[in-house]
A and B are shown apart, each in its own frame.
Chain A
Protein backbone atom coordinates (compact mmCIF):
# COMPACT_ATOMS: atom_id res chain seq x y z
CA UNK A 1 0.00 0.00 0.00
CA UNK A 2 1.39 3.43 -0.87
CA UNK A 3 1.56 5.98 1.92
CA UNK A 4 -1.26 8.56 1.76
CA UNK A 5 -0.21 10.75 4.67
CA UNK A 6 3.12 10.96 6.31
CA UNK A 7 3.65 13.15 9.36
CA UNK A 8 7.23 13.54 10.62
CA UNK A 9 8.33 15.19 13.90
CA UNK A 10 5.43 17.62 13.70
CA UNK A 11 5.57 20.51 16.13
CA UNK A 12 3.02 23.26 16.63
CA UNK A 13 3.31 26.17 19.04
CA UNK A 14 0.49 28.57 19.90
CA UNK A 15 1.48 31.75 21.75
CA UNK A 16 4.61 30.06 23.13
CA UNK A 17 2.54 27.09 24.32
CA UNK A 18 3.63 23.84 22.73
CA UNK A 19 0.49 22.08 21.49
CA UNK A 20 2.06 19.30 19.47
CA UNK A 21 5.60 18.11 20.07
CA UNK A 22 7.22 15.60 17.78
CA UNK A 23 4.18 13.82 16.38
CA UNK A 24 4.91 11.22 13.75
CA UNK A 25 2.60 8.76 12.05
CA UNK A 26 1.72 7.33 8.68
CA UNK A 27 -1.54 6.51 6.99
CA UNK A 28 -1.68 4.12 4.04
CA UNK A 29 -3.85 4.78 1.01
CA UNK A 30 -7.43 3.55 1.47
CA UNK A 31 -6.82 3.08 5.16
CA UNK A 32 -9.25 4.22 7.84
CA UNK A 33 -7.23 5.62 10.72
CA UNK A 34 -8.56 6.98 14.00
CA UNK A 35 -6.74 9.58 16.06
CA UNK A 36 -7.68 9.43 19.74
CA UNK A 37 -6.44 11.31 22.75
CA UNK A 38 -7.56 13.47 25.64
CA UNK A 39 -9.07 16.92 25.00
CA UNK A 40 -6.53 19.54 24.05
CA UNK A 41 -3.88 17.09 22.86
CA UNK A 42 -3.83 18.67 19.40
CA UNK A 43 -5.97 16.16 17.48
CA UNK A 44 -7.95 18.83 15.65
CA UNK A 45 -4.85 20.91 15.02
CA UNK A 46 -3.14 17.87 13.54
CA UNK A 47 -6.07 17.38 11.21
CA UNK A 48 -5.99 21.03 10.14
CA UNK A 49 -2.26 20.83 9.49
CA UNK A 50 -2.68 17.65 7.43
CA UNK A 51 -5.39 19.46 5.43
CA UNK A 52 -3.00 22.34 4.85
CA UNK A 53 -5.29 24.82 6.58
CA UNK A 54 -2.67 25.58 9.19
CA UNK A 55 1.12 25.61 9.03
CA UNK A 56 3.24 23.48 11.36
CA UNK A 57 5.85 25.31 13.46
CA UNK A 58 8.29 22.63 12.43
CA UNK A 59 8.32 19.13 11.04
CA UNK A 60 7.04 17.79 7.78
CA UNK A 61 3.67 16.71 6.45
CA UNK A 62 3.27 14.97 3.12
CA UNK A 63 0.00 14.03 1.47
CA UNK A 64 0.02 11.74 -1.59
CA UNK A 65 3.79 12.19 -1.73
CA UNK A 66 3.71 15.99 -1.89
CA UNK A 67 4.76 18.32 0.90
CA UNK A 68 1.71 20.12 2.28
CA UNK A 69 2.00 23.91 2.03
CA UNK A 70 -1.58 25.04 1.43
CA UNK A 71 -5.05 23.50 1.22
CA UNK A 72 -4.50 19.90 0.07
CA UNK A 73 -5.89 18.99 -3.33
CA UNK A 74 -8.55 16.30 -3.41
CA UNK A 75 -9.17 16.44 0.30
CA UNK A 76 -12.41 17.11 2.13
CA UNK A 77 -13.28 17.71 5.72
CA UNK A 78 -16.18 17.09 8.06
CA UNK A 79 -16.29 19.07 11.29
CA UNK A 80 -18.05 18.40 14.57
CA UNK A 81 -20.71 20.95 13.55
CA UNK A 82 -22.28 20.47 10.11
CA UNK A 83 -21.44 24.07 8.99
CA UNK A 84 -23.96 24.11 6.17
CA UNK A 85 -24.94 27.27 4.33
CA UNK A 86 -28.32 28.15 5.87
CA UNK A 87 -29.63 29.71 2.64
CA UNK A 88 -29.07 26.55 0.62
CA UNK A 89 -31.29 23.50 0.50
CA UNK A 90 -29.82 20.00 0.96
CA UNK A 91 -28.96 19.32 -2.69
CA UNK A 92 -27.49 22.76 -3.18
CA UNK A 93 -25.43 22.45 0.02
CA UNK A 94 -23.96 19.20 -1.29
CA UNK A 95 -23.19 20.84 -4.65
CA UNK A 96 -21.36 23.67 -2.87
CA UNK A 97 -18.18 21.54 -3.02
CA UNK A 98 -18.32 21.42 -6.83
CA UNK A 99 -19.03 25.14 -7.11
CA UNK A 100 -16.02 25.98 -4.94
CA UNK A 101 -13.81 23.86 -7.17
CA UNK A 102 -15.10 25.89 -10.11
CA UNK A 103 -17.09 23.05 -11.67
CA UNK A 104 -20.55 23.32 -13.10
CA UNK A 105 -22.92 22.05 -10.38
CA UNK A 106 -25.16 20.49 -13.05
CA UNK A 107 -22.46 17.93 -13.84
CA UNK A 108 -22.48 16.73 -10.22
CA UNK A 109 -26.23 16.70 -9.66
CA UNK A 110 -26.56 12.95 -10.30
CA UNK A 111 -23.66 12.11 -7.99
CA UNK A 112 -25.10 14.39 -5.30
CA UNK A 113 -28.44 12.62 -5.56
CA UNK A 114 -26.71 9.23 -5.28
CA UNK A 115 -24.94 10.35 -2.12
CA UNK A 116 -28.18 11.72 -0.71
CA UNK A 117 -29.80 8.32 -1.22
CA UNK A 118 -26.71 6.53 0.15
CA UNK A 119 -26.91 8.52 3.38
CA UNK A 120 -30.65 8.06 3.71
CA UNK A 121 -31.52 11.67 3.02
CA UNK A 122 -33.81 11.00 0.06
CA UNK A 123 -36.96 13.03 0.37
CA UNK A 124 -35.08 15.86 2.03
CA UNK A 125 -33.25 17.24 -1.04
CA UNK A 126 -35.25 20.43 -0.93
CA UNK A 127 -35.20 21.19 2.78
CA UNK A 128 -33.25 23.99 4.37
CA UNK A 129 -30.73 23.00 7.08
CA UNK A 130 -32.90 24.37 9.88
CA UNK A 131 -35.64 21.98 8.81
CA UNK A 132 -33.35 18.96 9.37
CA UNK A 133 -32.31 17.24 12.59
CA UNK A 134 -28.70 17.46 13.79
CA UNK A 135 -27.94 13.96 12.52
CA UNK A 136 -29.41 14.73 9.11
CA UNK A 137 -27.47 17.98 8.84
CA UNK A 138 -24.30 16.06 9.56
CA UNK A 139 -25.16 13.60 6.79
CA UNK A 140 -25.52 16.53 4.40
CA UNK A 141 -22.03 17.64 5.47
CA UNK A 142 -20.74 14.10 4.78
CA UNK A 143 -22.38 14.09 1.32
CA UNK A 144 -20.79 17.46 0.59
CA UNK A 145 -17.39 16.10 1.64
CA UNK A 146 -17.79 13.01 -0.56
CA UNK A 147 -19.15 14.79 -3.65
CA UNK A 148 -15.81 15.33 -5.41
CA UNK A 149 -14.69 11.80 -4.51
CA UNK A 150 -11.79 13.00 -2.34
CA UNK A 151 -8.77 10.74 -2.01
CA UNK A 152 -8.40 12.03 1.54
CA UNK A 153 -11.30 12.45 3.94
CA UNK A 154 -10.57 14.27 7.18
CA UNK A 155 -13.16 13.99 9.94
CA UNK A 156 -12.94 16.01 13.13
CA UNK A 157 -15.23 14.37 15.68
CA UNK A 158 -17.97 14.26 13.04
CA UNK A 159 -20.45 12.55 15.37
CA UNK A 160 -19.43 14.40 18.52
CA UNK A 161 -22.57 16.51 18.66
CA UNK A 162 -24.97 13.60 18.19
CA UNK A 163 -26.76 11.47 20.76
CA UNK A 164 -25.39 7.98 21.45
CA UNK A 165 -28.02 6.12 19.38
CA UNK A 166 -27.65 8.32 16.31
CA UNK A 167 -23.92 8.31 16.73
CA UNK A 168 -23.68 4.52 16.59
CA UNK A 169 -25.98 4.38 13.58
CA UNK A 170 -23.97 7.04 11.75
CA UNK A 171 -20.77 5.12 12.51
CA UNK A 172 -22.09 2.02 10.77
CA UNK A 173 -23.34 4.16 7.91
CA UNK A 174 -19.94 5.75 7.52
CA UNK A 175 -18.36 2.29 7.41
CA UNK A 176 -20.79 1.26 4.67
CA UNK A 177 -20.11 4.42 2.65
CA UNK A 178 -16.37 4.03 3.09
CA UNK A 179 -16.53 0.40 1.93
CA UNK A 180 -17.95 1.73 -1.34
CA UNK A 181 -15.80 4.82 -1.80
CA UNK A 182 -12.55 3.51 -0.31
CA UNK A 183 -10.92 6.84 0.35
CA UNK A 184 -8.25 7.36 2.92
CA UNK A 185 -9.87 8.50 6.15
CA UNK A 186 -8.27 10.23 9.09
CA UNK A 187 -10.86 10.29 11.84
CA UNK A 188 -10.49 12.26 15.06
CA UNK A 189 -12.58 11.08 18.00
CA UNK A 190 -12.43 10.81 21.75
CA UNK A 191 -14.60 7.71 21.81
CA UNK A 192 -12.48 4.58 22.12
CA UNK A 193 -15.27 2.28 20.95
CA UNK A 194 -15.95 4.42 17.90
CA UNK A 195 -12.24 4.49 17.04
CA UNK A 196 -11.80 0.70 17.29
CA UNK A 197 -15.11 -0.09 15.60
CA UNK A 198 -14.44 2.00 12.51
CA UNK A 199 -10.73 1.98 11.89
CA UNK A 200 -7.91 -0.17 10.60
CA UNK A 201 -5.50 1.50 12.98
CA UNK A 202 -5.86 3.63 16.08
CA UNK A 203 -3.22 6.26 16.84
CA UNK A 204 -3.24 7.17 20.52
CA UNK A 205 -1.95 10.63 21.39
CA UNK A 206 -0.50 11.82 24.70
CA UNK A 207 -1.98 14.81 26.60
CA UNK A 208 -0.66 18.25 25.60
CA UNK A 209 1.91 18.56 24.15
CA UNK A 210 0.59 15.86 21.82
CA UNK A 211 2.67 13.12 20.31
CA UNK A 212 1.91 9.58 19.20
CA UNK A 213 2.04 7.32 22.22
CA UNK A 214 0.93 4.07 20.66
CA UNK A 215 -0.41 2.68 17.42
CA UNK A 216 -2.97 -0.08 17.81
CA UNK A 217 -3.69 -2.05 14.63
CA UNK A 218 -7.30 -3.22 14.40
CA UNK A 219 -7.58 -6.40 12.36
CA UNK A 220 -11.25 -7.19 12.97
CA UNK A 221 -13.19 -8.55 10.00
CA UNK A 222 -15.41 -6.18 8.03
CA UNK A 223 -18.19 -5.30 7.76
CA UNK A 224 -18.43 -4.75 11.45
CA UNK A 225 -21.84 -4.52 13.07
CA UNK A 226 -23.51 -4.44 16.47
CA UNK A 227 -22.29 -8.00 17.02
CA UNK A 228 -18.69 -6.81 16.75
CA UNK A 229 -19.20 -4.79 19.92
CA UNK A 230 -19.48 -8.07 21.87
CA UNK A 231 -16.58 -9.79 20.10
CA UNK A 232 -13.85 -10.61 22.69
CA UNK A 233 -11.20 -9.44 20.21
CA UNK A 234 -12.98 -6.07 19.96
CA UNK A 235 -13.24 -5.74 23.73
CA UNK A 236 -9.55 -6.59 24.04
CA UNK A 237 -8.57 -3.95 21.46
CA UNK A 238 -10.63 -1.32 23.28
CA UNK A 239 -8.85 -2.25 26.49
CA UNK A 240 -5.50 -1.96 24.71
CA UNK A 241 -6.36 1.55 23.49
CA UNK A 242 -7.64 2.58 26.92
CA UNK A 243 -4.43 1.21 28.44
CA UNK A 244 -2.36 3.31 26.04
CA UNK A 245 -4.26 6.51 26.79
Chain B
Protein backbone atom coordinates (compact mmCIF):
# COMPACT_ATOMS: atom_id res chain seq x y z
CA UNK B 1 0.00 0.00 0.00
CA UNK B 2 2.77 2.39 1.05
CA UNK B 3 4.81 1.26 -1.95
CA UNK B 4 1.90 1.82 -4.31
CA UNK B 5 1.42 5.31 -2.93
CA UNK B 6 5.12 6.21 -3.35
CA UNK B 7 5.07 4.85 -6.89
CA UNK B 8 1.97 6.90 -7.68
CA UNK B 9 3.64 10.07 -6.36
CA UNK B 10 6.80 9.42 -8.42
CA UNK B 11 4.75 8.69 -11.50
CA UNK B 12 2.70 11.88 -11.07
CA UNK B 13 5.87 13.95 -10.65
CA UNK B 14 7.40 12.42 -13.79
CA UNK B 15 4.23 13.11 -15.80
CA UNK B 16 4.10 16.71 -14.58
CA UNK B 17 7.78 17.09 -15.51
CA UNK B 18 7.30 15.51 -18.94
CA UNK B 19 4.31 17.66 -19.91
CA UNK B 20 5.51 20.78 -18.11
CA UNK B 21 8.73 20.74 -20.17
CA UNK B 22 6.70 20.15 -23.31
CA UNK B 23 4.20 22.93 -22.56
CA UNK B 24 6.92 25.44 -21.64
CA UNK B 25 8.90 24.52 -24.78
CA UNK B 26 11.95 24.12 -22.57
CA UNK B 27 15.16 23.65 -24.62
CA UNK B 28 16.75 20.23 -24.03
CA UNK B 29 20.08 21.63 -22.82
CA UNK B 30 18.30 23.39 -19.94
CA UNK B 31 15.92 20.71 -18.75
CA UNK B 32 15.34 17.55 -20.77
CA UNK B 33 12.05 15.64 -20.40
CA UNK B 34 12.17 12.34 -18.47
CA UNK B 35 11.47 10.40 -21.68
CA UNK B 36 14.57 11.97 -23.28
CA UNK B 37 16.65 11.14 -20.19
CA UNK B 38 15.53 7.50 -20.11
CA UNK B 39 16.19 7.18 -23.82
CA UNK B 40 19.67 8.64 -23.39
CA UNK B 41 20.29 6.38 -20.41
CA UNK B 42 19.32 3.33 -22.43
CA UNK B 43 21.42 4.37 -25.46
CA UNK B 44 24.52 5.06 -23.37
CA UNK B 45 24.02 2.15 -20.97
CA UNK B 46 27.34 0.35 -21.70
CA UNK B 47 29.32 3.59 -21.26
CA UNK B 48 27.32 4.48 -18.14
CA UNK B 49 28.01 1.11 -16.55
CA UNK B 50 31.68 1.25 -17.43
CA UNK B 51 32.11 4.59 -15.68
CA UNK B 52 29.79 3.63 -12.84
CA UNK B 53 31.92 0.55 -12.18
CA UNK B 54 34.96 2.80 -11.74
CA UNK B 55 33.12 5.15 -9.38
CA UNK B 56 31.61 2.24 -7.45
CA UNK B 57 35.01 0.59 -7.02
CA UNK B 58 36.55 3.86 -5.81
CA UNK B 59 33.68 4.49 -3.38
CA UNK B 60 33.68 0.98 -1.94
CA UNK B 61 37.48 0.96 -1.62
CA UNK B 62 37.35 4.26 0.28
CA UNK B 63 34.49 3.00 2.44
CA UNK B 64 36.19 -0.28 3.33
CA UNK B 65 39.43 1.55 4.17
CA UNK B 66 37.45 3.97 6.34
CA UNK B 67 35.78 1.05 8.13
CA UNK B 68 39.10 -0.65 8.83
CA UNK B 69 40.92 2.51 9.89
CA UNK B 70 37.92 3.95 11.76
CA UNK B 71 37.38 0.80 13.81
CA UNK B 72 41.13 0.47 14.44
CA UNK B 73 41.33 4.04 15.72
CA UNK B 74 38.20 3.50 17.81
CA UNK B 75 39.86 0.43 19.35
CA UNK B 76 42.93 2.48 20.23
CA UNK B 77 40.77 5.16 21.82
CA UNK B 78 38.74 2.55 23.72
CA UNK B 79 41.62 0.49 25.05
CA UNK B 80 44.50 2.98 25.36
CA UNK B 81 42.92 5.68 27.48
CA UNK B 82 46.02 7.96 27.54
CA UNK B 83 45.93 8.21 23.73
CA UNK B 84 42.32 9.33 23.88
CA UNK B 85 43.29 12.88 24.82
CA UNK B 86 45.78 12.94 21.92
CA UNK B 87 43.62 11.45 19.19
CA UNK B 88 40.27 13.10 19.90
CA UNK B 89 41.37 16.78 19.58
CA UNK B 90 43.44 15.91 16.50
CA UNK B 91 40.44 14.28 14.96
CA UNK B 92 38.19 17.21 15.78
CA UNK B 93 40.68 19.58 14.15
CA UNK B 94 41.02 17.29 11.14
CA UNK B 95 37.26 17.18 10.77
CA UNK B 96 37.25 20.97 10.68
CA UNK B 97 39.13 20.96 7.38
CA UNK B 98 36.71 20.75 4.46
CA UNK B 99 38.10 17.64 2.74
CA UNK B 100 36.69 18.69 -0.63
CA UNK B 101 38.92 21.78 -0.49
CA UNK B 102 42.07 19.68 -0.34
CA UNK B 103 41.05 17.56 -3.35
CA UNK B 104 43.22 19.59 -5.81
CA UNK B 105 46.17 19.11 -3.47
CA UNK B 106 45.61 15.34 -3.50
CA UNK B 107 45.69 15.37 -7.31
CA UNK B 108 48.96 17.31 -7.21
CA UNK B 109 50.48 14.75 -4.87
CA UNK B 110 48.99 11.53 -6.20
CA UNK B 111 48.32 12.25 -9.90
CA UNK B 112 45.30 11.56 -12.05
CA UNK B 113 44.82 7.87 -11.26
CA UNK B 114 42.52 6.17 -8.76
CA UNK B 115 44.62 7.01 -5.66
CA UNK B 116 43.49 10.60 -4.95
CA UNK B 117 39.86 9.62 -5.50
CA UNK B 118 40.03 6.65 -3.13
CA UNK B 119 41.85 8.80 -0.60
CA UNK B 120 39.22 11.52 -0.79
CA UNK B 121 36.42 8.96 -0.42
CA UNK B 122 38.30 7.47 2.55
CA UNK B 123 38.87 10.84 4.25
CA UNK B 124 35.21 11.81 3.95
CA UNK B 125 33.96 8.46 5.25
CA UNK B 126 36.47 8.11 8.08
CA UNK B 127 34.98 10.53 10.60
CA UNK B 128 31.46 9.09 10.91
CA UNK B 129 32.86 5.56 11.06
CA UNK B 130 35.36 6.47 13.78
CA UNK B 131 32.84 8.37 15.92
CA UNK B 132 30.20 5.66 15.72
CA UNK B 133 32.66 2.83 16.28
CA UNK B 134 34.13 4.57 19.33
CA UNK B 135 30.64 5.11 20.74
CA UNK B 136 29.53 1.56 19.99
CA UNK B 137 32.61 0.00 21.58
CA UNK B 138 32.47 2.03 24.76
CA UNK B 139 28.84 2.90 25.50
CA UNK B 140 28.01 -0.23 27.41
CA UNK B 141 26.20 -0.44 30.74
CA UNK B 142 28.90 -0.70 33.44
CA UNK B 143 26.85 -3.43 35.15
CA UNK B 144 27.15 -5.76 32.17
CA UNK B 145 30.94 -5.33 32.15
CA UNK B 146 31.09 -6.00 35.90
CA UNK B 147 28.95 -9.07 35.47
CA UNK B 148 31.11 -10.34 32.60
CA UNK B 149 34.22 -9.96 34.77
CA UNK B 150 32.53 -11.67 37.71
CA UNK B 151 31.72 -14.64 35.46
CA UNK B 152 35.44 -14.79 34.64
CA UNK B 153 35.36 -12.92 31.34
CA UNK B 154 38.74 -11.88 29.96
CA UNK B 155 39.12 -8.58 28.06
CA UNK B 156 39.32 -10.56 24.81
CA UNK B 157 36.06 -12.44 25.46
CA UNK B 158 34.38 -9.21 26.53
CA UNK B 159 35.59 -7.58 23.31
CA UNK B 160 34.17 -10.28 21.01
CA UNK B 161 30.95 -10.98 22.84
CA UNK B 162 30.02 -7.60 24.29
CA UNK B 163 31.84 -4.60 22.84
CA UNK B 164 31.98 -5.65 19.20
CA UNK B 165 28.38 -6.89 19.19
CA UNK B 166 27.30 -3.64 20.81
CA UNK B 167 29.11 -1.69 18.06
CA UNK B 168 27.44 -3.48 15.12
CA UNK B 169 24.28 -1.32 14.95
CA UNK B 170 26.41 1.80 15.38
CA UNK B 171 28.57 0.70 12.45
CA UNK B 172 25.52 -0.03 10.36
CA UNK B 173 24.32 3.51 11.05
CA UNK B 174 27.81 4.80 10.24
CA UNK B 175 27.74 3.13 6.83
CA UNK B 176 24.43 4.83 6.06
CA UNK B 177 26.19 8.19 6.48
CA UNK B 178 29.67 7.23 5.27
CA UNK B 179 28.58 5.54 2.04
CA UNK B 180 27.07 8.69 0.41
CA UNK B 181 30.03 10.70 1.73
CA UNK B 182 32.50 8.30 0.10
CA UNK B 183 30.52 8.62 -3.12
CA UNK B 184 30.79 12.42 -2.93
CA UNK B 185 34.54 12.01 -2.46
CA UNK B 186 34.86 9.78 -5.54
CA UNK B 187 32.78 12.05 -7.76
CA UNK B 188 34.51 15.25 -6.68
CA UNK B 189 37.85 13.47 -7.27
CA UNK B 190 36.69 12.57 -10.77
CA UNK B 191 35.58 16.15 -11.40
CA UNK B 192 39.09 17.38 -10.67
CA UNK B 193 41.18 15.08 -12.78
CA UNK B 194 41.32 11.91 -14.86
CA UNK B 195 39.15 10.51 -17.59
CA UNK B 196 37.20 7.78 -15.84
CA UNK B 197 34.17 7.56 -13.57
CA UNK B 198 30.68 9.04 -13.46
CA UNK B 199 32.09 12.37 -12.24
CA UNK B 200 34.18 12.60 -15.37
CA UNK B 201 31.20 11.55 -17.51
CA UNK B 202 29.02 14.29 -16.02
CA UNK B 203 31.70 16.92 -16.46
CA UNK B 204 32.42 16.00 -20.10
CA UNK B 205 28.68 15.83 -20.91
CA UNK B 206 28.21 19.26 -19.35
CA UNK B 207 31.05 20.76 -21.40
CA UNK B 208 29.32 19.44 -24.57
CA UNK B 209 25.99 20.90 -23.36
CA UNK B 210 24.70 17.31 -23.45
CA UNK B 211 22.32 17.86 -20.52
CA UNK B 212 20.36 14.63 -21.14
CA UNK B 213 23.61 12.72 -20.63
CA UNK B 214 24.22 14.62 -17.37
CA UNK B 215 20.79 13.51 -16.14
CA UNK B 216 21.31 9.97 -17.41
CA UNK B 217 24.56 9.84 -15.40
CA UNK B 218 22.72 11.08 -12.31
CA UNK B 219 20.30 8.21 -12.85
CA UNK B 220 23.24 5.77 -12.87
CA UNK B 221 24.48 7.16 -9.58
CA UNK B 222 21.02 6.92 -8.07
CA UNK B 223 20.88 3.25 -9.03
CA UNK B 224 24.17 2.70 -7.25
CA UNK B 225 23.14 4.54 -4.05
CA UNK B 226 19.83 2.64 -4.02
CA UNK B 227 21.75 -0.63 -4.26
CA UNK B 228 23.96 0.48 -1.36
CA UNK B 229 21.05 1.56 0.81
CA UNK B 230 19.22 -1.70 0.07
CA UNK B 231 22.31 -3.68 1.07
CA UNK B 232 22.43 -1.90 4.45
CA UNK B 233 18.70 -2.39 4.95
CA UNK B 234 19.03 -6.09 4.14
CA UNK B 235 21.87 -6.38 6.66
CA UNK B 236 19.72 -4.72 9.33
CA UNK B 237 16.79 -6.98 8.55
CA UNK B 238 18.96 -10.08 8.76
CA UNK B 239 21.19 -9.25 11.71
CA UNK B 240 19.68 -6.40 13.69
CA UNK B 241 16.12 -7.55 14.19
CA UNK B 242 16.75 -7.37 17.94
CA UNK B 243 16.92 -3.59 17.85
CA UNK B 244 13.88 -2.46 19.82
CA UNK B 245 13.62 0.72 17.73
CA UNK B 246 12.88 -1.41 14.64
CA UNK B 247 9.84 -2.95 16.28
CA UNK B 248 7.97 0.22 17.10
The size bracket of the interface on A is: 20 to 34
**Cβ B150 vs Cβ A77 within 8 A:** yes
When C-beta atoms are compared, the residue in chain B nearest to A70 turns out to be: B149
On whether A101 and B242 interact (CB within 8 A), knowing A79-B143, A96-B161, the answer reads no
Check A85 for interface membership: any CB of B closer than 8 A. Answer: yes
Q: Which of B148, B154, B247 contacts A130 (CB 8 A)?
A: B247
Q: Looking at the assembled complex, report how far the CB atom of A143 sits from the nearest CB atom of chain B, in whole angstroms.
A: 13
Check A87 for interface membership: any CB of B closer than 8 A. Answer: yes
On whether A130 and B244 interact (CB within 8 A), knowing A100-B152, A101-B151, the answer reads yes
Q: Which residues of B contact A130 (CB under 8 A)?
A: 242, 244, 247
Check A99 for interface membership: any CB of B closer than 8 A. Answer: yes
Q: Which residues of A contact B231 (CB under 8 A)?
A: none
**Cβ B242 vs Cβ A128 within 8 A:** yes
Check B144 for interface membership: any CB of A closer than 8 A. Answer: yes
- A81, B161: Cα distance in complex, Å: 20
Q: Which residues of B contact A102 (CB under 8 A)?
A: 152, 154, 157
Main secondary structure of the interface of B (DSSP, over half): helix
**Cβ A100 vs Cβ B157 within 8 A:** yes
**Cβ B148 vs Cβ A100 within 8 A:** yes
Q: Which of A71, A83, A88, A128 contacts B149 (CB 8 A)?
A: A71
Q: Which residues of B contact A83 (CB under 8 A)?
A: 141, 143-144, 147
**Cβ A75 vs Cβ B144 within 8 A:** no
Q: Which residues of B contact A88 (CB under 8 A)?
A: 242
Q: Looking at the assembled complex, report how far the CB atom of B147 sits from the nearest CB atom of chain A, in whole angstroms.
A: 6
78-121 of chain A: CB within 8 A of chain B = 79, 81, 83, 85-88, 96-97, 99-102
Q: Which residues of B contact A86 (CB under 8 A)?
A: 242-244
Check A51 for interface membership: any CB of B closer than 8 A. Answer: yes
**Cβ A100 vs Cβ B153 within 8 A:** yes
- Known A-B contacts: A51-B150, A75-B150, A128-B242. Give 12 more (CB < 8 A): A48-B146, A53-B149, A53-B150, A73-B152, A76-B150, A76-B151, A77-B150, A83-B141, A100-B152, A101-B152, A101-B153, A102-B152
12 sampled A-B residue pairs with Cβ under 8 A: A52-B150, A71-B150, A73-B152, A77-B150, A79-B143, A83-B141, A83-B143, A83-B144, A83-B147, A100-B153, A100-B157, A128-B242
A contact residues vs B (CB 8 Å cutoff): 48, 51-53, 71-73, 75-77, 79, 81, 83, 85-88, 96-97, 99-102, 128, 130, 148
